[in-house]
Each structure stands twice: as C-alpha cells, then as structure tokens.
Amino acid sequence: MSARYEELKGLKNLGQKYAYTDREVMLYAYGIGLGADPMDENELAFVNEGTFTPRPLKVVPTFASVAAWGSGPGEMNLNRVMVVDGERDITFHQPLPVAANITADSSVLEVYDKGKDKGVVIVHQTVLKNEKGEKLATLVASRFARGDGGFGGPNLTQPDPHKIPSRSPDRTIDITTRPDQALVYRLCGDRNPLHSDPEFAKKAGFPRPILHGMCTYGITCRGVLQTYADYDASAFRQHVARFSSPVYPGETVTMDLWKDGDVISFEAKVKSRGVTVIKNGKTVLG
C-alpha cells in the first residue's frame, strides 16, 4: 500500500471544540435565502429571534454543515485551487439547539485514487456532539481533488449514489438566489476567494465568482423544508446531495422533487444555462 494512501487514510482529529449562538444560526438561514420576504412568517421563524408574540427560533437542519466550520481530520496537502466538493451526507440525530458548545470528531473514511491526472476522492466524517457527549449530527463529506491522484491507492469502487425515480417529478419549485448571496454566505465560514474575488475565479477557470456548493446544498434543504416538511426542522433525519455543476449568484435554482413515503428524492438545475447543479439528492423525514 502506498505511503500517501496510508497518510490520508490515517488522518484523525478528535475533540475539536466549537461554540455558536443564535447569531450564527440566523446568518446561515439568511445566507441560504430564507427571509427574502420579510412578511413570510414561516421563513421569519428561522431569521428573527424576537417577535411581538414570542416564539422559539428555528434552526435550519443543514446549519450543521457550518456549526463547526474549520473542523476536519487534518492537513491533506492538496492542490486547493483544484479541490471541489463532491457530495454531502448529513444524518441528524436530534434537532440542533439555537446556541451550543459542541465538539467535533473527524476522521477519513476512505480514499479513492482515480489515477494520474484523474484526481482523488477523499471521504471524511465529522461527528458533532453536545456538552453531554450526545450525537447531534454526523457529516460525511466527499472531496474531489482534481490536481492530485495517481499515488498508488487501492483499486476501490465508490458506492452507487441514491437513484432518482424514473417518473415525472411530484413537485417542482423555483428558488431565486441573490446576486450578492455568496458574499453573505461566506460569512458563515467559507471565505474561499473563488466565491468573492473575480480575479481569483477567472484563474480557477470561471467567468465570475460562483456560489458555494454548500450554499446550494442548504438551498435544497430549504426546498424540502418549504414543501414536504412544512417548515418543521425537527422532521429531518438525513439530507444527501451530489454536486455536479456550480450556481452563479443571481440565478434561479429549479428543484424537482419526488415523494416516496418518508423519502424525498430531488435534483436541481439552472434552466437558463441548461445545467444540472445537484444530482441524486435524498432527504429522509420522520
């Protein structure tokens, strides 16, 4: 087995400490577009902590993706300009509190070496726990490093993704993003200049800054929230999505959704460019 494979596979970082308040919770909700209509009471519940009639602030389930921003299994020494998100899979063990001190345990699950000039896919896991040591959420991330690979890892096959139903969608919704949405979302933690610096974006091969993949991921959670979950954040058990193409801030994201019992399948596209941006999406409600 190659030394590079063993190095990556052995990465682990336990007991990372983080804290967040309702400010971060509301910023994330606003960053994925909730609250665009300041008169929408369903959305205000995620972005407004104080009302004339008191009500508890709700936490978007996928806030888990930024609650411990910066946590990870360790330095992977990758060509960062060529690294993109491949997939996110979050399992929710209990509703996230509005404010909390948490710990994050991170480790690499597997490394898929696609070969020289083909890149490598690194799958790592982060488990978020509350102060009692109880699991809040388990995040599995797939990272595609396009500029790495070919170091002699084992010949492994990645698991098949969730299969989308062959019938026509049960529902289709349009979610509009704002031209400045990436500039807001980056305040949740990801300050990669690819999403804010036009010059950097062009050097990375894009005509202008792109929306964070994880913002698009949050938008798909929002789509399920407003349709089949009836804005009940506690109903989410799992939310999975594969990234296939970037969204540019200001574009409209069209979500197709299929409901089979407690499983909601979804895909998302930008019709104006004829591209699919999210594939093989799955939400489990319960």
| Domain limit, last residue, from 159, 188, 209 | 159
Confirm whether 78 is domain-assigned.
yes
Of the pLDDT bands very low, low, confident and very high (cuts 50, 70, 90), residue 59 is very high
Confirm whether 67 is domain-assigned.
yes
Strand ranges for the chain from DSSP E: 12-20, 83-92, 100-113, 120-129, 135-145, 171-176, 236-243, 252-260, 263-270, 275-285
Domain limits at 205? 171-285
11 with 132, same domain: the answer is yes
30 with 127, same domain: the answer is yes
**Please, how many CA atoms are within 13 Å of residue 274, restricted to the half-sphere of its CB?**
0
Q: What would the pLDDT profile of 81-115 be if each residue is shown by its tens digit?
A: 678 889 999 999 999 999 999 999 999 999 998 88
Q: Residue 108's pLDDT is what? A: 97
155 with 175, same domain: the answer is no
| Domain limit, last residue, from 159, 182, 198 | 159
117 with 234, same domain: the answer is no
- Which residues contact residue 200 at a Cβ distance below 8 angstroms, ignoring those fewer than 6 apart? 193, 194, 209
Q: What is the CATH classification number for the domain harbouring 43? A: 3.10.129.10
Confirm whether 164 is domain-assigned.
no
Pairing label, strands 171-176, 275-285: unpaired
196 with 97, same domain: the answer is no
Considering only residues 100 and 159, tell me which one the structure prediction assigns the higher pLDDT: 100
Considering only residues 53 and 98, tell me which one the structure prediction assigns the higher pLDDT: 98
Tell me the average pLDDT across 160-183.
97
φ/ψ of 66, rounded to 5, equals -120, 0
Alpha carbon distances (Å) from 146 to 40, 119, 256: 42, 4, 29
Of the pLDDT bands very low, low, confident and very high (cuts 50, 70, 90), residue 50 is confident
**Would you say the C-alpha torsion 193, 197, 202, 208 has a positive or negative sign?**
positive
179 with 96, same domain: the answer is no
54 with 21, same domain: the answer is yes
44 with 181, same domain: the answer is no
Task: Report the C-alpha gap between 256 and 267 in whole angstroms.
Answer: 5
192 with 258, same domain: the answer is yes
155 with 226, same domain: the answer is no
190 catalytic? Reply is yes
Of these residues, 105, 190, 239, 256, which one is catalytic?
190
- Which residues contact residue 115 at a Cβ distance below 8 angstroms, ignoring those fewer than 6 apart? 149, 150
Of these residues, 124, 195, 212, 239, which one is catalytic?
195
Pairing label, strands 252-260, 263-270: antiparallel
| Domain limit, last residue, from 105, 137, 159 | 159
183 with 279, same domain: the answer is yes
Task: Report the C-alpha gap between 183 and 79 in whole angstroms.
Answer: 24
Confirm whether 10 is domain-assigned.
yes
143 with 192, same domain: the answer is no
195 catalytic? Reply is yes
Domain count, the chain: 2
